[in-house]
Chain A
Amino acid sequence: MRYKMQTAELIWEIKNNIEKIGRSLKVIEVCGTHTVSIYKNGFHTLFEGYIDFISGPGCPVCVTHEGYIDRLVELSSEWTIYTFGDLLKVPGSSKSLSQARANGGKIKVMYSPVDAVEHLENNEKVIFAAVGFETTAPAFALSLEKVIEKGLKNVKFACELKTIDEPLKSLLQNHIRVDGIILPGHVATVIGVDSFKFVEGFKVASVISGFEGYDILLSLLSITQDILNEDFTVKNEYKRVVKKEGNVIAKGYIEKYFERTSAFFRGLGLIPGGGLKIKDEFREYSIDMSYDNTKQKDSLCRCADVLTGKIKPFECPLFEKVCTPISPKGACMVSQEGSCNAYFRYGKWKGR
């Protein structure tokens, strides 16, 4: 029924609710695709003074340690690295994958890891740069299954997959106080509404959201209503896709091939259970990616503070001055979903 609402009416109602609450709200979007949707639709200007949008740790590129890139660069002299376009420009400590490619490194951009496996020949030495959250993990599980079925011996996975629940817990527990959370719609598609029940313990309004501008507005309406009603149950705005239990087959694939491990998140540090690694029984398909995750290049870059919502991108001393999309110093500027990048490209606005 609420779908019948017109955009202008919806925006008015959200603002009206916030006026009733009596203060501006801090809302965090966990997922980078939400970040981009918010900025692209201009919601940061539309709700100026009403909602302060904070970008969370849900961009796999932003939270990836530079040691992972360094290792891929190193391996690209011998193996062909298959990567999503997202990872190509992320700076390692000396080179990005794109720079490595210019220097003769074997690097290929893929659209789908499953399709990529289908085109592989038996003797090709290939490493899949497996990054992403639970949305993408089943794709790599399926690829791994195909690799096994095809009997490909020289295909490995550089597994840096992440889970969303543990970093989100850590963020809410240790780093940040927010009024509302926009939960990642596509991760929720795979893991289900119930997997986000833990958020209720933090007494914060939360909603699983789709990615269209309208989805975001409906989610903001839900958040403001929940704050007014002091209702902290997880809501699901993205009902057309997200189910209570998620996608059982996809979850089954993740469980079959991966297990939880601790993982590094830029800004949050090492998070127990925050990542997925290939199970021991399939370890011949895994390539050792170990890097020293305690070391991070010494820099004024404040990606970590941006990712945890402590500062806005423009409060970082490097922002716009030396850190731009052309020469990014931190991952938040590299990824098109990164909050610094989104802020740089869409966010600047008169009287900032």
Chain B
Amino acid sequence: MCLGYPAKVIEIFEDKKALVEYLGVKKMVNIALLKNVSIGDYILIHSGIAIEKIDQKEAEEIEKLFGEVQDANS
């Protein structure tokens, strides 16, 4: 019921907005639902709104893991 995508915070603006990047695509999103967002954070976006920060350590694990999935198949 809920599509979401992870994105990296590139720039933070007033009015609770941030420029994020996901696989090379840059887009403005709303970050009103998060506190203490910093540049470089990974956040999860749903319908243009960040609904949670992504745990850096867990995200790295996943990144590593998806790398492995690709390796396993190639």
List chain A positions with a Cβ less than 8 A from chain B. 3-4, 6-8, 31-33, 58-60, 84, 111-115, 132-133, 135-136, 138-139, 142, 184-187, 189-190, 211-214, 239-243, 247, 249-250, 253, 337
User: A3 CA to B4 CA in the complex, in Å?
Assistant: 22
Complex A-B: 14 CB contacts under 8 Å: A3-B64, A6-B68, A6-B72, A7-B72, A33-B2, A59-B1, A111-B47, A114-B30, A132-B1, A138-B51, A139-B46, A142-B33, A186-B44, A249-B33
Task: Tell whether A184 pairs with B1 under 8 Å between CB atoms, given A7-B69, A112-B30, A214-B66.
Answer: yes
A184 near B2: Cβ-Cβ < 8 Å: yes
A142 / chain B contacts, CB cutoff of 8 Å: 30, 32-33, 49
Distance of A237 from chain B, by nearest CB (Å): 11
B residues 24-74 touching A (CB-CB < 8 Å): 30, 32-35, 44, 46-49, 51-52, 54-55, 58-59, 61-62, 64-66, 68-69, 72-73
Task: Tell whether A112 pairs with B73 under 8 Å between CB atoms, given A138-B33, A240-B59.
Answer: no
B72 near A3: Cβ-Cβ < 8 Å: no
**Cβ of B3 < 8 Å from any Cβ of A?**
yes
User: A142 CA to B65 CA in the complex, in Å?
Assistant: 35
Task: Tell whether A211 pairs with B62 under 8 Å between CB atoms, given A112-B30, A142-B30.
Answer: no
List chain B positions with a Cβ less than 8 A from chain A. 1-4, 30, 32-35, 44, 46-49, 51-52, 54-55, 58-59, 61-62, 64-66, 68-69, 72-73
User: A84 CA to B55 CA in the complex, in Å?
Assistant: 29
Q: Of A187, A242, A253, which is within 8 A of B33 by CB? A: A253
B46 / chain A contacts, CB cutoff of 8 Å: 135-136, 139, 186
Distance of B19 from chain A, by nearest CB (Å): 14
Distance of A271 from chain B, by nearest CB (Å): 16
A243 / chain B contacts, CB cutoff of 8 Å: 52
Q: Which partner residue on chain A sits nearest B51 by CB separation?
A: A189
Q: Of B30, B35, B64, B65, which is within 8 A of A249 by CB? A: B35
Q: Which partner residue on chain B sits nearest A213 by CB separation?
A: B69
Distance of A343 from chain B, by nearest CB (Å): 18
Q: Which partner residue on chain B sits nearest A138 by CB separation?
A: B33
A3 near B65: Cβ-Cβ < 8 Å: yes
A114 near B49: Cβ-Cβ < 8 Å: yes
User: A76 CA to B64 CA in the complex, in Å?
Assistant: 49
User: A33 CA to B3 CA in the complex, in Å?
Assistant: 7
Task: Tell whether A186 pairs with B51 under 8 Å between CB atoms, given A3-B64, A135-B2, A211-B4.
Answer: yes
B1 near A33: Cβ-Cβ < 8 Å: yes
